[in-house]
């Protein structure tokens, strides 16, 4: 029989059968009990070794971190803590690990320390759980859209459109930085570069996604996006993954309905398919909360919070209504907000978003109809002439998790807006073409995948929900 995954053994499939398992030793006690983990699930498999049958050398090499193969019969365990175990006299050491030097000791390590050894942290319970939950969510995203008849579209990662306007961009260049070609007026001459023009890493697949929606009706992208913003927060990465559905014949309200249904589906999918890992993460968070002073603790545990979001309607509120609430809010009157709200038109900071979600409504909130002046050029101008059909979904602990809008489908209005912000029409000729040939009302949004994973795993820092985080000053690994 071939190699069997520990998950399947613990599900009881192989009782009384002889199996081979391969994995990494978490602990080895009393020269007799190995806790083996192969990453297929959170729980270790107990392997009971007949140490008299093993040679001294093999016994010595069964150390934390080593990889081994074990062959034996699956039996019901008499010991506490596990239902099944393997009894064996056959152990093969595959890769030794010096227990003195192995950075992961069988004890609790801080998340900060684990970030420094991101190549090994996946071998801990916490990161194993996060990787598995993350995988399940990726699968759920595709399942959800596929079953609804949306098509997945790959949009370019290297983009030649300078006009996405969603943040600072990374230049992509093959020029020799020590000998840059210059134009007559001293600028870098990108016409001599690989693509014959200045190119960037994409900040969003939306504009290209729109072209596909205006033919396939309902599409989504799920790809890496890059922002060179120097915001060292627990919610921002320089490289992150974004899911961007784009739908023809959807207005703003259809868009909000889809966003709400989609995130609830993802939360429910995790609850149905990742319960072992989520139960572990729930406990991890509860332990972490206990370290905090009483008044800073979250009211709800992780699992309770996830169920709450899956089962309750989100609040929908216009920007104008939100400003009224914030203007009269205690932290505004007592000048506790870092940015005080006094006028309509003010951009909302994450402190305001979190106040609405965590203090005022105690529910996820969808804010919509924002002032045109604080939103992107492609959002549809409302009848009032001063707001646009934008919507942001705000989550507890996270703030903005989704940003979206109904897109401006009217050629003339779009051209006016492009001019007003100083983009040359010729830079967006292909985007404008979609409004010249069979334009249609359409909408879409972007869900930041890591913010979703943060919410579902209860991790406070976005650096801990992506295998190798990219942040200012950090591109190790």
Which residues contact ligand ATP by CB under 6 A?
166-167, 227, 235-237, 240, 242, 400-403, 446, 448, 450-451
Q: Which is nearer to ligand ATP, 43 or 406 (CB)?
A: 406
Q: How far is the CB of 458 from ligand ATP (least distance, A)?
A: 17
Q: How far is the CB of 402 from ligand ATP (least distance, A)?
A: 5
Q: How far is the CB of 366 from ligand ATP (least distance, A)?
A: 12
Q: Which is nearer to ligand ATP, 40 or 155 (CB)?
A: 155
Q: Which is nearer to ligand ATP, 194 or 339 (CB)?
A: 339
Q: Which residue is nearest to ligand ATP (CB)?
A: 448
Q: Which is nearer to ligand ATP, 165 or 301 (CB)?
A: 165
**Residue 256, token pair as written in the block:** 């909000």
Sheet containing 199-201: order of strands: 158-159, 199-201, 171-172
Helices 206-216 and 429-436: crossing angle, nearest 10°? 30
> Nearest-CA neighbor of 64 among 37, 92, 91?
37
Q: How far is the CB of 450 from ligand ATP (least distance, A)?
A: 5
Q: How far is the CB of 40 from ligand ATP (least distance, A)?
A: 29
Tally: H helices and E strands in the chain: 14, 16
Q: How far is the CB of 137 from ligand ATP (least distance, A)?
A: 14
Phi, psi of 402 (to 5 degrees): -135, 140
Q: Residue 16 CA to chain centroid, in angstroms?
A: 41
Q: How far is the CB of 105 from ligand ATP (least distance, A)?
A: 32
Q: How far is the CB of 166 from ligand ATP (least distance, A)?
A: 4
**Residue 431, token pair as written in the block:** 């985007």
Q: Which pairs count as long-range contacts for 432-440, CB under 8 Å and 24+ apart, including other chains? A: 434/210, 434/211, 434/214, 435/409, 435/410, 435/411, 436/411, 438/214, 439/214, 439/409, 439/410, 439/411, 440/214, 440/248, 440/249, 440/409
Identify each DSSP E strand in 142-280 by its residue range.
Answer: 151-152, 158-159, 171-172, 199-201, 218-226, 239-248
Q: Residue 373 CA to chain centroid, in angstroms?
A: 29
Helices 125-148 and 449-457: crossing angle, nearest 10°? 120
Identify each DSSP E strand in 321-474 by its residue range.
Answer: 365-371, 387-395, 399-406, 442-448
Q: Which is nearer to ligand ATP, 193 or 244 (CB)?
A: 244
Q: Which is nearer to ligand ATP, 15 or 374 (CB)?
A: 374
Q: Which is nearer to ligand ATP, 150 or 240 (CB)?
A: 240
**Residue 58, token pair as written in the block:** 């093999």
Bridge partner list, 69: 22, 92
Contact (CB, 8 A) for 250 and 261: no
Q: How far is the CB of 336 from ligand ATP (least distance, A)?
A: 21
């Amino acid at each position: 029989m071939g190699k069997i995954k520990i998950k399947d053994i613990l599900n009881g499939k192989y009782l009384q059968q002889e199996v081979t398992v391969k994995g990494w030793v978490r602990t080895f006690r009393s020269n007799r009990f190995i806790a083996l983990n192969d990453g297929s699930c959170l729980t270790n498999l107990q392997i009971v070794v007949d140490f008299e049958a093993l040679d001294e050398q093999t016994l010595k090499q069964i150390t934390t971190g080593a990889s081994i193969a074990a062959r034996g019969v699956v039996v019901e365990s008499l010991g506490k803590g596990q239902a099944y175990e393997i009894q064996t006299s056959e152990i093969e050491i595959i890769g030794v690990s010096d227990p003195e030097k192995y950075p992961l000791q069988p004890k609790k390590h801080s998340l900060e320390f684990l970030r420094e050894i991101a190549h090994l942290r996946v071998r801990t319970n916490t990161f194993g759980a996060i990787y598995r939950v993350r995988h399940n969510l990726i699968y759920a995203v595709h399942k959800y859209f596929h079953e609804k008849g949306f098509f997945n579209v790959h949009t370019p990662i290297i983009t030649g459109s300078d006009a996405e306007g969603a943040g600072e961009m990374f230049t992509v260049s093959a020029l020799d930085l020590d000998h840059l070609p210059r134009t007559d007026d001293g600028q870098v001459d990108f016409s001599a570069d690989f693509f014959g023009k200045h190119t960037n890493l994409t900040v969003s697949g939306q504009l290209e996604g729109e072209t596909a929606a205006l033919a396939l009706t309902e599409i989504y992208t799920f790809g890496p996006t890059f922002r060179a913003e120097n915001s060292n927060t627990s919610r921002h990465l320089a490289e992150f993954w974004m899911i961007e559905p784009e739908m023809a014949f959807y207005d703003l309200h259809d868009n909000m309905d889809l966003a709400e249904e989609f995130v609830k589906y993802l939360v429910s999918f995790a609850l149905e398919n990742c319960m072992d890992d989520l139960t572990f993460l729930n406990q991890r968070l509860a332990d972490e909360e206990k370290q905090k002073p009483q008044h800073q603790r979250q009211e709800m545990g992780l699992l309770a919070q996830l169920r709450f979001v899956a089962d309750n309607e989100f609040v929908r509120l216009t920007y104008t209504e939100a400003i009224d609430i914030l203007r009269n809010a205690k932290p505004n009157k007592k000048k506790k907000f870092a940015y005080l709200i006094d006028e309509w038109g003010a951009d909302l900071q994450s402190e305001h978003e979190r106040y609405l979600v965590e203090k005022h409504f105690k529910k996820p909130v969808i804010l919509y109809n924002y002032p045109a002046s604080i939103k992107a050029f492609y959002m549809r101008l409302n009848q009032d002439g001063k707001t646009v059909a934008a919507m942001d979904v705000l989550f507890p602990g996270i703030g903005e998790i989704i940003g979206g809008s109904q897109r401006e489908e009217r050629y003339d209005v779009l051209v006016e807006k492009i001019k007003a912000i100083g983009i040359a029409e010729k830079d967006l000729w292909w985007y404008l073409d979609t409004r010249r040939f069979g334009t249609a009302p359409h909408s879409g949004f972007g869900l930041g995948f890591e913010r979703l994973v943060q919410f579902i795993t209860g991790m406070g820092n976005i650096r801990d929900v992506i295998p190798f985080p990219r942040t200012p000053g950090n591109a190790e690994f």
